[in-house]
Amino acid sequence: MTGTAAEAIAAGLARAGCRHAFGVPGGEVLELLDALERAGVGFTLAKHENAAGFMAEGAWQATGAPGVLLTTIGPGLANAVNAIANAYQEQVPLVVLSGCIAPGQASQFTHQVIDQQALLAPITKATFQVAPGNAAVIVEKALALAQADPPGPVHIDLPDCLAAAEAPALDTPAPIAERAILGPGDTLDKALNRILESHRPIIVAGIGAVLHGAGPEITRLSETHGIPVITTYKAKGVLPEHHPNALGGHGLSPLSDQVVLPLLRASDCVICLGYDPIEMRSDWIRPWAPEVAMEFVHAQTEHGMHGSSLRHVGDVAAAARALCDGIAPKRGTWPGAEPAAARRALAHAFAPRGEWGPHAVFATLDEHLPEQAVLTVDSGAHRILMTQMFHARRPGHLLQSAAFCTMGVAVPLAIGVKRAAPDTPVVAVVGDGGLDMAPGDLATLRDMGLPMTVVVLVDSALTLIGRKQKAMQLGQAGVTFGATDFPALARAYGGHGETIRDRAEFKRALSAAARRGAFTLLACKIDSAGYDGAF
């Protein structure tokens, strides 16, 4: 069957399960936009391409189908660079579609023409330019690559003169590589022996555990053999965090590091499951002796953060299953009960403080929202404290940019989740610096007409950076700003906005937001001193 190049791309995306695309159109992508809509890949107009990239990630988080970002030539694509780099570090399968001028023409016609493939080369897994007749092949290659471990962004540049040109369709999608399964053999025998002989085993789970859906297997491994579980921020919830073996998510809080790093140093068997240290700060360089560690990872990522003496790259869930079932249940691990003491120390360090302040906001969100809600959180002091305090009941319960740590991600990420899963209660938590960076997302919320809650921590400061300045004994330059009237802004964008000053008011407003048809913005006035010594 033959259609146009734009139709071939849209058909490939639809076949891969993509139902949503996000972006801002321009003259060079109108054929593509039209083809996407006709193929059932509904387009959501964002107000900034960067936000659209985060929305596309949100749709992937909600559905498992690759995210789709559509931008126009030049400035459109350049606006999305941060979100694409984020997808690269956060391992998000994202197909980036852009319009361009065909190379022949671009040698003469230079208006808005930049080397788009060169721009994206360092922050994508691959960048392709469609040539006459090959659109269907390109989209299949892009989809396969985007989803192969580690997942990431792949770029397709479609010359405007080719969008409506004939291109044959493909009926067989490119296969996605099978994951290697840890089966009987030397590696498994060695690994099982180490667990068998250990007295203080510990699991460190990371993003690969989430990508491979290894939560249930990690839970069984932990419960069967009495092994405590530490996770990264992205892997929070692979073991539900109210579980007695769960020691929470770590990597960016020096206060929590003080509790968990000694535990890792004391362990005689560190079992890394899908752990990629890309999320960790420098205190996590060489946290254990390589001879006690073994890794079962989803991808061969290179770093100098830690060593190990056994490594298997493949299916993380299958590895956890093989480790669990290969030996009889262990008894009496950690005879000194250090993990239980660490759990108590963490609960104490991140316990709610005082009547009102950031702690009260995060404790209320932790306790008050329904189990099935999805929360997103931005970058800043609020993110670190919230992540330390929040008990994720499942992977994906709390979403964030934990490797790239970009600001301006929480609201559009939440929008993408809500767009793809409209019945899910969704709450975005953001600092005032983060919301000031991208207020246009509220206009997208208005246009979608979907109820969602935005909680903004209003302290008129880039608190995380101010804190670093203080630690470096520098003056507070460039970290404070005036108070934006966020509730008025919410109303201007057609939503409901309220200022919140205490816990009871916050609880009531969260409940009322859940019943509202439009979006709700809750501006929690806090004192940035509330973060002092908090993480």
Ligand X SMILES: Cc1ncc(C[n+]2csc(CCOP(=O)(O)OP(=O)(O)O)c2C)c(N)n1
Q: Site residues (CB under 6 A) for ligand X?
A: 378-382, 405-408, 431-434, 457, 459, 461-465
Q: Which of 88, 435, 406 is CA-nearest to residue 69?
A: 88
CB-nearest residue to ligand X: 431
In residues, how long is the chain?
Answer: 535
Question: Which residue number, 307 or 352, has a Cβ lying nearer to ligand X?
Answer: 352
Q: Where are the alpha helices (DSSP H) in 409-502?
A: 410-420, 432-437, 440-448, 463-471, 486-492
Shortest Å, Cβ 534 to ligand X: 11
Task: List, in sequence order, every residue forming a beta bridge with 174; answer none if it has no partner.
Answer: none
- State the minimum distance, in angstroms, from the CB of residue 360 to ligand X: 15
Locate the DSSP E strands across 186-226: 201-205
174 token code pair: 């490119």
Q: Residue written as tokens 């992205």?
A: 234
In this complex, which beta carbon is closest to ligand X, that of residue 215 or of residue 530? 530
- Starting at the edge strand found earlier in the chain, the sheet holding 496-500 runs 398-399, 374-377, 426-431, 453-458, 520-525, 496-500
Give min distance, CB of 501 to ligand X, in A.
Answer: 18
Rounded Cα gap, residues 486 and 457, in angstroms = 10
* Minimum CB distance to ligand X smaller for 465 or for 492: 465
* Residue 409 C-beta: closest distance to ligand X, Å: 9
The half-sphere exposure of 374 on its side-chain side, counting CA atoms within 13 A, is 25
User: Could you tell me the smallest distance in angstroms from the CB atom of residue 99 to ligand X?
Assistant: 26
Please identify which residue in the block is written with the tokens 């970009």.
406
In the complex, the smallest distance separating the C-beta of residue 435 from ligand X, rounded to whole angstroms, is: 7
Instruction: Identify which of 311, 305, 223, 301 has the alpha carbon closest to the alpha carbon of residue 264.
Output: 305
Q: Quote the least distance from Cβ 274 to ligand X, whole Å.
A: 24
In the complex, least distance from residue 403 CB atom to ligand X, rounded to whole angstroms: 12
Asked if 23 contacts 412 with a C-beta cutoff of 8 angstroms, the reply is no
Nearer to ligand X, 112 or 406 (CB): 406
Cβ nearer to ligand X, comparing 67 with 431: 431
Q: Give, in degrees to the nearest 5, the angle at Cα 497 between 423 and 411.
A: 50
Residue 427 phi/psi, 5-degree rounding, is -130, 125
Q: State the number of CA atoms in the 13 A half-sphere of 515 facing the CB.
A: 4
Select 293 or 462, whichever has its Cβ closest to ligand X.
Answer: 462
Min dist CB 437 to ligand X, Å, is 7
Closer residue to ligand X (CB): 48 or 382: 382
| Strand 2-4 relative to strand 166-168, pairing | antiparallel
CA distance 276 to 369: 30
Q: Can you tell me the distance from the alpha carbon of 496 to that of 110, in angstroms, rounded to the nearest whole number?
A: 46
Minimum CB distance to ligand X, residue 383 (Å): 7
What is the separation, in whole angstroms, between the first and last Cα of the chain? 59
Beta bridge partners of 272: 204, 295
Give which of 201, 240, 189 is closest to 332, Cα–Cα. Answer: 201
Q: How far is the CB of 30 from ligand X (least distance, A)?
A: 30
| C-beta closer to ligand X: residue 105 or 484 | 484
**Contact assessment for residue 420 and residue 20, using Cβ atoms and an 8 Å cutoff:** yes
* Residue 1 or 474 having the CB closest to ligand X: 474
Residue 75 CB, nearest distance to ligand X (Å)? 18
Nearer to ligand X, 112 or 528 (CB): 528
Query: How far, in Å, are 25, 95, 157, 226 from residue 13 at the CA level?
Result: 18, 9, 15, 44
- The DSSP symbol for 73 reads T
317's CB contacts (< 8 A; 6+ apart) are 209, 212, 213, 214, 216, 217
Q: Which CB sits closer to ligand X, 217 or 432?
A: 432
Q: Considering beta carbons, is residue 116 or 379 the nearer one to ligand X?
A: 379
CA distance linking residue 453 with residue 457, whole number of Å: 13
